[in-house]
Structure 1
Amino acid sequence: MVYPLGIPYTTLPHPVYNSTLANAPAHEPSPLPAPHQPKMPSDNADIASLGKDALEQALLQQADLIKGMKAQKPAPSKEDLAPFVERLQALKAALAKLAEDTGSKFDRAVLESLLIKRFFYAPSFQIYGGVAGLYDYGPPGAALQNNILQLWRQHFVLEEDMLEIECTNLTPEAVFKTSGHVDRFTDWMVRDVKTGDIFRADHLVKQILKERLEANDRLKRGVVPDKKSKKPAEPLTPETVKEYENILEQLDNYSGPDLWKLINDLNMKAPETGNDLSEPVQFNLMFGTQIGPTGNNRGFLRPETAQGHFVNFKKLLEFNTDQMPFASASIGKSFRNEISPRAGLLRVREFTMAEIEHYVDPTKKDHPRFSEIEHIVLPLYSAHNQMNGGGVIQMSVGDAVRSGVINNETLGYFVARIYLFLTRIGIKPDKLRFRQHMSNEMAHYACDCWDAEILNSFGWIECVGCADRSAYDLTAHSNRTGESLVVRERLPEPVTVTRWTLTVNKPKFGPAFKKNAKFVQGYFDTLMVSATHWNEQKLQELDVQIKANGGSATITGTDGNPYVITTDLVTIQQVTETTHVREFTPNVIEPSFGIGRILYSLIEHVWWTRENDEQRHVLSFPPVIAPTKALVLPISKNEEFVPFLKDIVSSLRRHGVSSKVDDSARAIGARYSRNDELGTPFAITVDFQTIKDKTVTLRERDTLKQIRESIPTVTQVIRDLVEETTTWEQVLQQYPAFEGQEI
């Protein structure tokens, strides 16, 4: 992670101790008013503006300053030293918080052990040794994912009146040939030249650079290098640290040759063996298969759900009574044959995606509900700031669109809605940013693209993409199939238009090219921008070429071979016509959600341990998405409690609230703790007072506060909390706290 450069230490508003003065003769004048009375700033507000490197430098020099002052004779008093010590402590705290924010102190192994113990997820086919990149979700994990998806449907599909569809996982090769996946859906991979071990090139570069930076940090803190290390870590210069951080920040933009140059320039080797690495080669990430028994119909498991939307556009538009704009949405599995999946749920070979395709008039990209969200302030990491080290800026959506940082209102609207969704499910706002694609990483057809990146212990991870894909997909499928994937809009007044067209003389065209006619026709198809409109600039260029060569031109067919076309085979001309209908190919705004990545990042964000007891883990899921909403438990195994337990569970079911009864013999505190680890937000306890007055206690997971009310009241309160119509703070204001033991 790259942090904004802090203020150089020499410019900080306090004196820097000069070690040569400490040993100077007493009669020599000191530039300080007194060795033990240097002036300090009235507060430490400037520390907040410092980046990681500046903080480390300031911390070292502040420690030296205090050490030198203590060596003075006479030594300064505690009162005189106090502001300097206070500043030292503030610098340490700031650096510690920075380390915490970047996940460097996060014990991922402890969390993963908890998640596996409670069966949130586990490697698939584990009793057979497992397969990298495949995971099964257990009961709490499956419930958590389903609740996230249910909220996603509510937040997007219902709120925006979207058309939800479900498309097949199997896709014919022709579809992905048209979309570009067959030729371009690749990653760069390298091999250990001796063992043959395979690595994804950009991930390997990231791993090696992060390890070098971490080793450098340990050296700065005086931590002894690991004895198992084959090569002791060497201190990095500030320039090298900055270079590594810049590479990590822009690594997504590196091509295969760029990665190969990095590997050689920075002397990178295979991690485990230290062997040389091979030159990067491309690897297609799609799972290929055969459809049917003949083997003649090649297909793929889809790597994304989007193409199913585009090929059904005509039906969707008709279903929507030809009204624009509109959006389709889908939730489903996607498959990618990852080169070396080594990051848990963040890099898998089968995963759940939720995607939206919002179709909009390319000349009208405003949004009717933009005014509802334009005030929302977002953490934006623009392409300009990435190139210039400007860091993340806080800017309202309205200002971002008006200033051109975000391309248009519709794109800005969905970026804001994504932010609201992620924070609603529990993603911490200070660990969320929207990073704009730079020009060299953006698809050639895209107008603008922003990724919602979430900070977890693996770093900043792309979890949602939001792109303006222009009209690329619909145009490509229309050209390939001849199907008109356009919108026809009746004009208030007829208009006269002049446009270029190409007409094929079919009686002569077929005999001239015979079996190769389809390759020449394929070339003509590439000159079309829709099923009925041509790329006029390319037609004019072809017309000029034909006239300049005396009535002929050589073109390249889709098979790569040259063909000669003449004026007796094709006619290129301008035509003038009056039309009552405007025809256009919609542009597509596409928010695409990787649900597994969001789920794992969320778990990291909500995990914590009780104060003074690191063995008591808590997952603070918001009630709306918690796997189980309420724990129902008796104080002991007394048969008189059974009717009350049944009554509570029945009432919760009627309210649509999931619950679980724990009537095991374990102590009540242990049962509470177990369900804290499962993220259950509420616990209803039946005790002997329940038998007397039919009241129960309601315990809240995070605060441990309780209320005691009747069963109908408690179940209604839980329903309101789950439906987000009230908060726990409001509940405590409405009902008296139960002053029992907080467990």
Structure 2
Amino acid sequence: ATVRELKKNGGAAADITAAVVALNALKAQLNALAEPVGVVLNKKALDDLLLRKMFVVPSFEIYGGVGGFYDFGPPGAAVKTNLLNLWRRHFLLEDDVLEIECTNIMPEVVLKTSGHVERFTDLMVKCVKSGECYRADKLVEDFIENLLAKGASSLTSDEQEKHRLVATKAESLTPDEMHAVIQEYGILSPGHGAALSAPMPFNLMFQCHIGPEGHNVGYLRPETAQGIFLNFRRLLEYNAGKIPFGCAQIGNAFRNEIAPRGGLVRVREFQQAEIEWFVHPDDKSHAKFGQVAAQRLTLFPKSNQLTTGKTVVLSVRDAVDQKLIANESLAYYLARTASFVSLLGIDMSRVRFRQHLDTEMAHYACDCWDLEIQLSSGWVECAGHADRSCYDLQVHAAKSKVEMVGTLKYDTPRAVDVVDIKVNKGKIGKAFKADMGLVNKGYDCRLI
């Protein structure tokens, strides 16, 4: 309007020119604000700063260090303490969540029962020249990312989408499927440009022996959850038998990562802050769902990952009503996590919740969403939210022969007829002999 007025009123040429320059500068600022936010972080400079100011330093530094281990210096430890204190206030005090502290070492029976001994693996490949090990899915993802960055102009949109889909599925591929992808793309070892071995599963747990005899095998815990499940009976009793209730644990977890080259993003020892929220399996509503129902979340559903590659923004209520998020309790904690991340000052335009594909779902989960934050290295998982159903309690109860159940008190008493069948295993064995195992499996009741 100023430029128009100057021209209309016969203003001096110098004044008009100055006004035009000022207007163009304002337009440039507006256009800059409208542009997508690019990555402007100098990661190397930031890493150097964190090291110089002793926020975080390599462990065992005077001996050359070991990949995947870091120590927090005075300012780093203070920041972490403040973050955990805020986490406790935001999650535990808000919902009267209990907190316990369990051991870092667990006997093998615990983790064999939970499924970790058999299934807690990543696919590993080796450079046939140097013997250096690599995590197979990360090699595929990095190769395709570079392929798209360098050759996007020569690829059609369909070809680009095909490559992205392969990268998306990389973490969930079987060894044979992974080998086929590596062969198809001609992926070589980054260090020597040599061929790679066939992919093989590598268990990520650190094994140890408990006691001097060497017979009692144990593991450093790969997650903090199992200690909570093992204490379920006592926690329920402590909570006066009331369900739902939550229990939290803050503590270290240990994972023998194949190639921890991402700095603090992928390490071999790290701290987890975890909550297990116990509900009736047929009623996963949440008393405070109404408080977060209108909150809007950026979601990346599994269907979109395999098709459009686009996120959607929905209210928490709409996501549950559309059965995108499995239930109110899971949705409540997604919303609370988003609020917590916002409290930390994270740019929410770089935050999303990505749903696990069916092929990458953990063995214990029936629905799972990762909180991902876009860092200079791409989208990085920072928190996981899983509906573990009754898996953990059921498998531990079956193995230990200790009941892990709660009771439901009805508003009015109910009379229920129960058939209590006692099986004479001796007579069954004589009658069916080698088929006794099949007969036992056919009973639709608990054998006593």
With the shorter chain as reference, the TM-score category is 0.7 to 0.9
8 Å Cα contact 1:455-1:461 kept in structure 2: yes
Match of 2:19 in 1: none
Matched, 1:335 2:254: yes
Q: 2:138 aligns with which of 203, 209, 224?
A: 203
Asked if the contact 2:254/2:270 (under 8 Å) is kept, the reply is yes
Which of 377, 382, 385 is matched with 1:466 structurally? 385
Cα-to-partner distance string for 1:45-67 (whole Å, 9 max, x where unaligned): xxxxxxxxxxxxxxxxxxxxxxx
In the alignment, the residues of structure 2 paired with residue 94 and residue 267 of structure 1 have an alpha-carbon distance, to the nearest angstrom, of 42
CA RMSD of aligned residues (A): 2.8
Distance 2:441 2:311 in 1: 55
2:413 matches 1:493: yes
| Separation in structure 2 between the aligned mates of residue 175 and residue 375 of structure 1, nearest angstrom | 41
User: Any conservation in 2 of the 1:362–1:470 contact (CA below 8 Å)?
Assistant: yes
User: Going by fraction, where is helix more abundant, 1 or 2?
Assistant: 2
Instruction: Give the corresponding residue for 1:565.
Output: 436
d(CA) in 2 for partners of 1:208 and 1:566?
50
**Do the aligned residues in 2 keep the contact of 1:331 with 1:354 (CA within 8 Å)?**
yes
Query: Aligned pair in 2 of structure 1 residues 210, 502: CA closer, same or farther (>3 Å)?
Result: farther
Corresponding residue number in structure 2 for 1:361: 280
Show the counterpart of 2:106.
Answer: 171
Q: State the AA in 2 paired with 1:496.
A: V
Residues 143 and 497 of structure 1: CA distance in aligned 2, closer, same or farther (over 3 Å): same
| CA 504–292 in structure 1, closer or farther in 2 if over 3 Å, else same | farther
Q: Is the 8 A contact 2:299 2:314 kept in 1?
A: yes
Matched, 1:136 2:71: yes
Q: Label 1:367 to 1:136 Cα distance change in 2 as closer, same or farther (>3 A).
A: same
Deviations 1:433-488 (A, max 9, x none): 01111222224553321111110011111111111110000000000011010012
| One-letter identity of the residue aligned with 1:411 | L
TM-superposition CA deviations, 1:469-519 (whole Å, max 9, x none): 10000000000011010012244233334668572525986xx8xxxxxxx
Cα deviation for residue 261 of structure 1 reads 1.2
Instruction: Report how many aligned residue pairs link the two structures.
Output: 421
- Spell out, residue by residue over 1:195-251, the C-alpha distance to the aligned partner (whole angstroms, 9 max, x if none): 11110101111222222233336xx6xxxxxxxxxxxxxx54544433322323333
What's 1:281 paired with? 200
Secondary structure in structure 1 of the residue aligned to 2:407: strand
Evaluate the alpha carbon distance shift between residue 564 and residue 122 of structure 1 in structure 2; reply closer, same or farther with a 3 A threshold.
Answer: same
Q: Distance in 2 between matches of 1:94 and 1:316?
A: 52
Aligned to 1:36: none
Which of the pair has the greater relative contact order for Cα pairs under 8 Å at 6+ separation? 2
1:273 Cα deviation after fit: 1.5
- Aligned twin of 1:738: none
Give the drift of 1:139. Answer: 0.9
1:399, CA displacement in angstroms? Answer: 1.1
Spell out, residue by residue over 1:666-691, the C-alpha distance to the aligned partner (whole angstroms, 9 max, x if none). Answer: xxxxxxxxxxxxxxxxxxxxxxxxxx
CA distance in 2, matches of 1:300, 1:499: 42
State the alpha-carbon separation in 2 of the partners of residues 508 and 131 from structure 1.
Answer: 59
Q: Aligned partners of 1:365 and 1:301: how far apart in 2?
A: 32
2:47 aligned with 1:112: yes
1:552 partner amino acid: F
1:126 aligned to 2:126?
Answer: no
CA distance in 1, matches of 2:444, 2:391: 25
Contact 1:124 1:130 in 2 (8 A): yes
Match of 1:189 among 111, 118, 124: 124
State the alpha-carbon separation in 2 of the partners of residues 483 and 321 from structure 1: 19
Segments of structure 1 that go 5 or more residues without pairing to the other structure are 1-84, 221-234, 513-550, 554-562, 576-743
Where 2:326 maps in the other structure, the secondary structure is coil
One-letter amino acid of the structure 2 residue matched with residue 327 of structure 1 = G
The offset of 1:419, in angstroms, is 0.4
Partner Cα distance (1:380, 1:115) in 2: 32
Residue of structure 1 equivalent to 2:8: none
Q: Contact between 1:499 and 1:574, CA under 8 Å: does it hold in 2? A: no
| Corresponding residue SS for 1:410 | helix
Give the alignment partner of residue 160 of structure 1, picking from 83, 89, 95: 95
CA contact (8 A) 2:364 2:392 kept: no
User: Scaled by the length of structure 1, what TM-score is found?
Assistant: 0.53
Q: How does 1:89-488 map to 2 (within 5 A)?
A: 97-98=35-36, 100-101=37-38, 103=39, 105-216=40-151, 235-389=154-308, 391-443=310-362, 446-488=365-407
SS at match of 1:388: coil
1:566 & 1:301 partners in 2: Cα distance? 35
Is the counterpart of residue 503 in structure 1 residue 435 in structure 2? Answer: no
Q: Distance in 2 between matches of 1:204 and 1:213?
A: 14
Once residues 131 and 570 of structure 1 are traced to their aligned partners in structure 2, the CA distance between those partners, rounded to angstroms, is 52
Q: Is the 8 A contact 1:165 1:328 kept in 2?
A: yes
Paired residue secondary structure (1:564): helix
- For residue 432 of structure 2, the aligned residue among 542, 545, 552 is 552
Change (3 A) 1:398 1:508: closer
State the shift of 1:405 in Å: 1.1
Overall identity of the aligned pairs, in %: 43
Contact residue 502 and residue 572 of structure 1 kept, 8 A: no
CA positional deviation for 1:166: 0.1
* Contact kept in structure 1, 2:370 and 2:384, CA below 8 Å: yes
For residues 270 and 507 of structure 1, do their structure 2 counterparts lie closer, same or farther at Cα, with a shift above 3 Å needed? same
**Does structure 1 retain, via aligned residues, the 8 Å contact 2:367–2:387?**
yes
